Chain A
Amino acid sequence: DVKVTQSSRYLVKRTGEKVFLECVQDMDHENMFWYRQDPGLGLRLIYFSYDVKMKEKGDIPEGYSVSREKKERFSLILESASTNQTSMYLCASSLSGGGRNEKLFFGSGTQLSVL
């Protein structure tokens, strides 16, 4: 079974801190995605990547950046955390080419609180 591992289950940070969320998948998937999930808003796509060093903006990229130096690892960076970035962050991967998201495999999520 595909495993998508997110480095932290819970994270508490201060406003203005730089935050790194790490995600690793073990099945050689081409595509990786970062979503945030908020009550009443559902899952919203922040960034995705369809190849190493390639990235595409999703619906809400402002305040975030990403890094994909290796195929299996996709990092989400909050350059200067703000309280409105308190959320559940979900990483996902998929095998299909061209940035399509067929049959996404999700990690367990990181609940980030920014105080």
Chain B
Amino acid sequence: SQKIEQNSEALNIQEGKTATLTCNYTNYSPAYLQWYRQDPGRGPVFLLLIRENEKEKRKERLKVTFDTTLKQSLFHITASQPADSATYLCESYGGNQFYFGTGTSLTVIP
């Protein structure tokens, strides 16, 4: 079955830098990948969706890429701010199967 691996349990970066989070899938290429943000004690909030035939998607300071050769999606937050500190989840959908990664905890240090 599909496995979604998010590299680095925790990531600390300096304010103003670009944060890059990774999401690797092990098996078949998903129809799409989604990225969510989760704050402590809250449900995840949808950020971006990228489809298999798309290379890159942007939304304000957020950018996501999808590389089917590397079986990987990268999630970038440019000009990071302390308010960006949260856990970011990657999710894949394909073949009527849904899988979430365990998330990467991001801390932006002022």
A residues sitting closer than 8 Å to B (CB atoms) are 4, 33, 35, 40-45, 48, 58, 90, 92, 99-109
B residues sitting closer than 8 Å to A (CB atoms) are 32, 34, 36, 41-46, 49, 89, 91, 93, 96, 98, 100-103
Taking chain B's interface residues, is the majority helix, strand, or loop, or is none over half, making it mixed? Answer: strand
User: Is the CB–CB distance between B96 and A99 below 8 Å?
Assistant: yes
User: Is the CB–CB distance between B49 and A103 below 8 Å?
Assistant: yes
User: Is the CB–CB distance between A108 and B43 below 8 Å?
Assistant: yes
In the complex with contacts A42-B102, A42-B103, A45-B98, A101-B43 CB distance below 8 A = no
* Closest CB in chain B relative to A94 CB, distance in Å: 9
* Closest CB in chain A relative to B62 CB, distance in Å: 15
In the complex with contacts A106-B44, A106-B45, A107-B43, A101-B100 CB distance below 8 A = no
**Cα-based distance from A14 to B51 in the complex (angstroms):** 44
Closest to B102 in A: A42
Most chain A Cβ neighbours within 10 Å, of B43, B44, B89? B43
